[in-house]
Amino acid sequence: MLRMPSILKKKPILQIVCTTLLSLALYGAPAWADNLEQLRASGAIGESLSGYVVARNPSAQAEANAINAQRRAIYQQKAAAQGVSVDQVAKVYAAEIFKKIPAGTWVQKDNGQWVQK
């Protein structure tokens, strides 16, 4: 079992590390957003009701994982600030994402079936 170094147990240091990591993740957001739009348009990636993307094409799995890691970081931050679960935040974001995605984007329904918006 891995243990956290004692220096990271101190709250100010941990906050600085978390803030830095979040900033680095969000710094690449414009490129990430462009890539996401391209992947959606090609049908390689679709949106799920869980607030995360799903690779519809195995070649897009790495990109889906990267996008989901960035979303998860945002969801975790919001959940901690609001005192709710990450899943609750993700579902709220999913509803907003569905409102904004362009027509033709693939969406996965509750039953796992894919449909285009």
Evaluated on CA atoms 110, 101, 43, 63, the torsion sign reads: negative
**97 vs 9: which has the higher pLDDT:** 97
Report whether pLDDT(8) > 50. Answer: no
For 44-78, how does the pLDDT look when each residue is reduced to its tens digit (9 = 90+)?
999 999 999 999 999 999 999 999 999 999 999 99
pLDDT at residue 34, as a whole number: 72
The CA distance from 91 to 101, in Å, is 15
Mean pLDDT of 84-89: 95
pLDDT at residue 35, as a whole number: 85
